Structure 1
């Protein structure tokens, strides 16, 4: 006998039940629950709205087909390299937390994600940071090829690519074993980045730049485990010298993910 499929209301209630006092926990979701959370998440909905706006703007300028296709293809090629450079040299750079002006930015865009890799709320970047970054990367490419029509075509492609990256990034932290071999492989590589050595495997869906620049590794036997895989080098000693991230966090940096027991204790303290 076939199991009755849940109604939209039941799925929405299930989605709400996944949210704790902190965030959605990917470590407790299955693939169907992820789809529900992903497709209703405000950041993703905002990206969807921007995709529609940029697509309409593209055709407003009436570009020729090559002035749409070529910028789109250029973005698809450039995007993995841009992500690699940002991830390796900015998000994993220590200069951001050593400056009181940029410490909160670093905490939000990457430190929180490495401290607890399964939390959906800190997996997605803030649109205040991601959208300008996408624009800075793709608009000049599109404009140089096809004027304003090409610029908005490039922006549309950049936003779509971001949504695809974010979804696969979620799967890489999901309590789910992918059936597709390629997805399983990129998940394994990203898990190594988060739980073995953060100084490598900076890609999400594409690891070509890692291979070119020597930061790729296939398995845990390839290199020793990093002592900073969860704190990105922001140790207790560093926090004493540069306290701004620790002050915002309200606790010293962790050298391992937060456990469920610790999370429950912290939530109890906050609600007391």
Structure 2
């Protein structure tokens, strides 16, 4: 089953798994064998091993994990809204390829697994910068290790639910259905809202939440994040790396582009 899924060309677009062509069982196999996820698992194990060998009391460790659980959705919201959806990264040559990889490609082809997962070169340092100082301030090395492990664990959970939101699958649980519906609106109706993945508390708090298509006008930049042909002519670096002009709709059926 595992080998058959991994070698199944019918659920791939170019080199990437295409979530729009997969079922839940196939997702589990792809997710649990994906190198980035395996790296996260290994780092989680290392983090909690360090915690286990260095801790003396439970309270600081528990508090640091709780603090990360509270802070993580807010940090994700801020990064997603103000950095990933910002227009400053593609306007600088040195950061254009970074922006392309971390978010533009995902909005151009929302169902492709290899651009849905963030690059570990970007995600792991970010998780460390956010979580380790919190843990260390609360309880030194053991709490710092626990906080980092918690951040990685939450990231794994986020990534799995993010996959489900783009999967050709209707969840049975109503709360997951609602979560998926809100995220699909972010990708296919208006990108200027519903920035959350598993929680939309920050969206509600900062008034970027909308329940359905009637609650927000359709955005002409939902697939290109404002990097349209006109912008590409002035700031060509993302377009040059892509090898094609930016599209105003996803094109997951273009294997030539995605295999490049």
1:51 corresponding residue in structure 2: 44
Distance across 1 between alignment mates of 2:5 and 2:236: 39
Distance across 1 between alignment mates of 2:196 and 2:64: 22
Q: Which residue of 13, 16, 28 maps to 2:4?
A: 13
- Superposed, 1:1-272 pairs within 5 Å as 10-17=1-8, 18-258=11-251, 260=253, 263-264=254-255
Residue 87 of structure 2 aligns to a residue in which SS? coil
Q: Which runs of 4+ in 1 moved over 4 A?
A: 264-268
Q: Is the 8 A contact 1:54 1:152 kept in 2?
A: yes
Unaligned runs of 5+ in 1: 1-9
Identify if the C-alpha distance between structure 1 residues 106 and 179 changes in structure 2 by more than 3 Å, giving closer, same or farther. same
Distance across 2 between alignment mates of 1:206 and 1:80: 7
Residue 125 of structure 1 aligns to a residue in which SS? coil
Distance across 2 between alignment mates of 1:182 and 1:98: 38
TM-score, with normalisation over the residues of structure 2? 0.96
Residue 250 of structure 2 aligns to a residue in which SS? coil
Q: Is the 8 A contact 1:30 1:175 kept in 2?
A: yes
Distance across 1 between alignment mates of 2:29 and 2:3: 8
| Count, aligned residues | 258
Distance across 1 between alignment mates of 2:148 and 2:135: 8
Deviations 1:57-79 (A, max 9, x none): 11221241001110001000100
Q: Is the 8 A contact 2:188 2:222 kept in 1?
A: yes
State the shift of 1:259 in Å: 5.0
Identify if the C-alpha distance between structure 1 residues 121 and 151 changes in structure 2 by more than 3 Å, giving closer, same or farther. same
Distance across 1 between alignment mates of 2:215 and 2:47: 43
Distance across 1 between alignment mates of 2:238 and 2:204: 32
State the shift of 1:21 in Å: 2.2
Deviations 1:97-130 (A, max 9, x none): 0000100000000000000000000000000000
TM-score, with normalisation over the residues of structure 1? 0.92
State the shift of 1:20 in Å: 3.8
Q: Is the 8 A contact 1:63 1:150 kept in 2?
A: no
Unaligned runs of 5+ in 2: none
Distance across 1 between alignment mates of 2:220 and 2:36: 32
Residue 156 of structure 2 aligns to a residue in which SS? helix
